[in-house]
Amino acid sequence: MKDGIQKFGRSLLLPIGVMAPIGMVMGLTGALTQSYMIDHVSWLGNSTVQAILTSLQTITGIVFDNIPLLFAMGVAYGMSKVDKGISVFSAVLGYVTLLVVVNVYLTLTGSLADEETMAEVGQGVVLGIQTLKLDAAGGIIAGLVAAYCTDKFYKTELPLAFAFFGGKKFPPMATFFFMIPIGLFIPVIWGLFTRFLLFISPVFLNDVFGVGAYWFAHRALIPFGLHHVLASILRFTEAGGVYMIDGQQYIGILNATNKVLFDLGPDNPAWSMAPDLFKYLASGQMLTTLFRVPAIGLAMYHTAFKDNKKLAKGAILTVVLTAFLGNITEPLEFSFLFIAPQLFIVYAVLCGVMTIPLNFLNVGIGYIRGTIFDFGIFGLMYENTNWLNLVLLGLVNFVVFYFVFKYAIKKFNLETLGREKGLKSNTLLAEKKYDEVAGVVLAGLGGKQNIKNIDNCVSRLRIDLKDQEQVDVEAVKGSGASGVFFPQKNHIHIVFGPYVEFVRNAVDDEMKKE
């Protein structure tokens, strides 16, 4: 079950990864088309400039108008083991089928609401079909069914008269027929499911400790790869709240954020909701990426052995910039997670506790990620964000994390970056010699014959092994990995940070060689 949940969490990264950069463009165009921005920068009022910006805003907006479809394709791609292309095709077919079947159910039961009232009962028009606003959940269901049907039926043989419909043509048909009973069943359980999510949401939505509980859980789940699942639950389901904005119902924190941040802006009364929404998104994440991670990196550098500091500086700077510029914190976190798990627990607790003041600082900096670019776009370029309050809280976080980590590293003589005995330079990753990195990894894992399956998430190779006793962990570390560990028997995680996609491709290429 844990493996399945981890794989599911990784599958969510694809649509989220697409949304993040497009969201930055959407955010920038949204900011530059707001009336308050035009008043401050006169040339923005030029009709041609505004036409270009509004066009870009419309183009990027299509992504957020079709989030469920993105999740259907992303989950199908991530969860299927065989023909991922067929799985994605099946997911799209399955999602559209789901929308229509729910529409049929609502029609037959007399539950189809009028246009004026459908938002109040959780209905809306999706891809031209009036249906329940299942949002990302509908796409996820379609993606899971498509992945299952693809893996189970892609080799199905039918009698000769129907042979044409066998093989790869069968999974889409199977998905279609599976989605019919599912579509009839969902409206029945949807009310119960909604009430359950609303029941548990006060834990994370509590006005005092909720945001702290969320960010503690988010950090604590990172070693298990489940933090993406938690984030998605609050972002896209009723567990993140149901918001009425301009007479329209928005389910989940991110859907409400998109409306407030991109469509309405700081001049709208709905902007008063921004601090309570954004603290679960960029505002909370920025405390980690822009302040806590640099503080931990500085503590590691100052506690590094004198002879190692020159080499350690490059490694520490890389993992810090990976978070600062790319919102990927795992390379730094994994650098101390397994040598000092108690310190990681303290780190997770501090991340939760030190985020709670966001409740009282009225910080209104969106969006999903927590990079310096997001701070510039959504913090400095928008009005009424109170970005200075975030900086002040961030500096307090910096000081606390720096001294806690510096004390712990020295007190318990932890082998953090720069404190390893016999530290050697590894330039393979820095020089982008991915084929050589792959060779070192495969040799350290006991050769190609010892590998059953290779996968990766945003920062880690995840490899199933036949016999983990054949693994030379120190040899694998020699590839330049910032962390190597076994979350379970015969399954290894190798942390490469932002290089992981390129390393994965190189490993796949090596595996194909005779």
10 Å CB burial of residue 109 (0-12, 13-18, 19+) is exposed
As given in the structure block, the two tokens for residue 433 are: 């010699």
10 Å CB burial of residue 417 (0-12, 13-18, 19+) is buried
Which H, E and C letters describe 394-441, residue by residue?
Answer: HHHHHHHHHHHHHHHHHHCCCCCCCCCCCCCCCCCCCCCCHHHHHHHH
Length of the chain: 514
| Apex 371 CA angle, 262 and 304, nearest 5 | 170
Residue of 409, 457, 503, 507 with catalytic role: 457
Residues in a beta bridge with 454: 463
Q: How far apart, in whole angstroms, are the C-alpha atoms of residue 227 and residue 217?
A: 8
Q: Give φ, ψ of 453 to 5 degrees.
A: -155, 145
The sheet with strand 451-456 has its strands ordered as 451-456, 460-465, 491-495, 483-488
> CA–CA distance from 338 to each of 249, 298, 426, 458, 486 (Å)?
44, 20, 21, 19, 10
Distance of CA 421 to the CA centre of its chain: 35
Element (DSSP H or E) covering residue 276: helix 274-278
Of 468, 460, 474, 444, nearest to 222 (Cα)? 460
Of 312, 35, 14, 355, nearest to 212 (Cα)? 355
**Number of neighbouring beta carbons within 10 Å of residue 10:** 21
The answer to whether 351 is a known catalytic residue is no
Q: What is the DSSP letter of 479?
A: T
Which residue shows structure tokens 């794989």? Answer: 7
Active site residues: 457
